[in-house]
A = this chain, B = another copy of it.
Amino acid sequence: MADFDLPARNRRLLLVRRPTGVPGPRHFAMEDAPRPVAGPGQILVRNLYLSIDPAQRGWVADAASYVASVPLGSVMRSLGLGIVLNSNEARIAEGEFVYGWLGWQDYAAITFDQVLTSVAEPRLPLAAYASVLGISGMTAHLALEQLGRPKTGEAVLVSAAAGAVGSIVAQLARRMGCRVVGLAGSDEKAARCVARYGCDVAIDYHLRDLESALRVATPNGIDIFFDNTGGEILDLALRHMAPFGRIIQCGTVAVPVWSPPPIGPRNEREMLTRRLSWSGFLIFDHIARCEETVEFLVERVLTGELVYDVEIDNGLEQAPSALVKLYQGVTLGKKLIFVGRG
């Protein structure tokens, strides 16, 4: 497939400054490099959709967490969906679509272990493979199932409920017979959570008396809190959990900077007296279940049980500002970059 008319240059967005909080355009620089070739055991991928993820803040932070920080001067780490142009890897054919560690660039020469899922015959539009069928949808399904363990009639609170993960969580929880309350960053988003994502109630978290609204929405307390935000929303929800409630920590987008360590109310007494269980979830621990999870989600989208939204910015050069917008809470659904040349 290598002989058609493709750009011979590879634009690469390099991390050039290390941010203390959310990274933005000034932390990256565009570099022009030759198109890479697939080495032994590698595939050459033309990148199509890049996944803009809140986790990317952690990947460029000074302190390594669950993975090493992206080194200064190297291509920004990113998941994405692309098409295989050349393959020196027996398990992946040319022409297949792969979802994996492509990076902020036009082309990626990667190995099999950098591929999360691959598909020869897509059953949904390509952007789905980088959103509802990517880490956002997988996280929603696996974290809810493994850590939430929802039972019919339970009250589920979802923060960032109009977001890429939250919108899927809300729909899955509703399908499992739960009463779902969404928190979102505007009236418009809250309305969408009810109209489109299956929330029984949704609340704009900027509301002056969020506590009362939460009490009205979950009069018997919250059984499961699927938290994508952390911060004051977490402080409040934790104090409104039902006994034996489960908190799933999936993101911390509401806390802009982690160094120096921000403070909040102590939670150990609530944890004990309410017998709560609070767990962190990271999809990368569950890669073995990717294929099966994609199957589960594809079926539900095809039957119409599950809807998803993507918001696509055009052009690789938009990636840094897309990440800023994600943290500003102005995104609806999953934020993607289409890797075109404008």
Contacts and interface: CB of A to CB of B under 8 A. Distances in A.
Given A66-B243, A243-B66, A266 B275 contact: no
Contact of A264 (B263, B270, B277, B285): B263
Contacts of A66: 243, 273-275
A263 B268 CA distance: 11
B251 A272 contact: yes
A234 B272 CA distance: 13
A276 B273 contact: no
A40 B32 CA distance: 90
Interface stretch (A169-177, A205-213, A254-262): A254-262
A268 B249 contact: yes
Contacts of A262: 265-266
Given A265-B262, A266-B230, A275 B271 contact: no
A194 B282 CA distance: 37
List the 5 closest A-B pairs by CB distance, nearest first: A230-B268, A65-B273, A272-B280, A271-B280, A277-B279
A199 to B, nearest CB: 23
A69 interface: no
Max count, chain B CB within 10 A of own CB: residue among A252, A267, A272: A272
Interface residues on A, range: 35 or more
Given A255-B266, A261-B265, A263-B263, A272 B278 contact: no
A132 to B, nearest CB: 22
A273 to B, nearest CB: 4
Contact of A280 (B227, B234, B275, B281): B275
Contact of A272 (B265, B271, B282): B282
A275 B264 contact: no
A274 B281 CA distance: 9
Nearest to A273: B65
Nearest to A250: B272
A103 interface: no
A98 B64 CA distance: 55
Contacts of A91: none
Nearest to A58: B273
Interface of A: 58, 65-66, 227, 230-231, 234, 243, 249-252, 255, 258, 261-282, 285
12 contacts: A66-B275, A231-B268, A255-B266, A255-B269, A262-B266, A264-B265, A270-B280, A275-B281, A276-B279, A276-B280, A277-B277, A278-B279
Contacts of A264: 263-266
Given A251-B272, A273-B280, A275-B280, 19 more contacts: A58-B273, A65-B274, A230-B266, A249-B272, A250-B272, A252-B268, A252-B272, A255-B268, A261-B265, A262-B265, A264-B266, A271-B280, A272-B280, A272-B281, A274-B280, A275-B279, A275-B281, A276-B278, A277-B279
A262 B261 CA distance: 16
A279 to B, nearest CB: 4
